[in-house]
Amino acid sequence: MEIKQFGPSGMLQNFVDYIWVVESELLKEEEREDIIMPLGHINLIFNYGSDYKLIEREREILIPDTAIIGQIKSARHVRYGSKLEQIGISLKPAGLISFFHIPGTSIADRIIDAKEVDLTLHKVY
């Protein structure tokens, strides 16, 4: 698995902390478990690989291909499919308000389908 990280340029520096890309070959079964750590960002994620799921209390919850992950308070377990390809934008709290006109507290500790926040994000996807 390869993760590339890019810093924003120009005016985006006020709103975006970094942009990341994940690409992988086919993942072996033992490589499909991961933990998302709380880093204080709101992440806009575009998933182009296999479906992936949040593991919560022994339940698997499908994460949408275009998702916003609010600032999480504790580590979250996820299970990837066989192929992992994602582009993510780690927004600063000011970025969420400026781009989507909603406060970060309204999506804190939640993973939501991006169309609940902005229908045009599916066009970007």
6-20, 22-36, 94-108: segment of lowest average pLDDT: 94-108
Percent of the chain with pLDDT over 90: 58
Q: What is the DSSP string of the chain?
A: -EEEEE---GGGGGTEEEEEEEE-SPPPGGGSEEEEPP-S-EEEEEE-SS--EEEETTEEEEPPSEEEEPPPSS-EEEE--S--EEEEEEE-HHHHHHHHS--GGGSTT-EEEGGGT-TTHHHH-
Tell me the whole-structure pTM to 2 decimals.
0.88
Greatest mean pLDDT among 34-38, 48-52, 71-75, 101-105 lies in 48-52
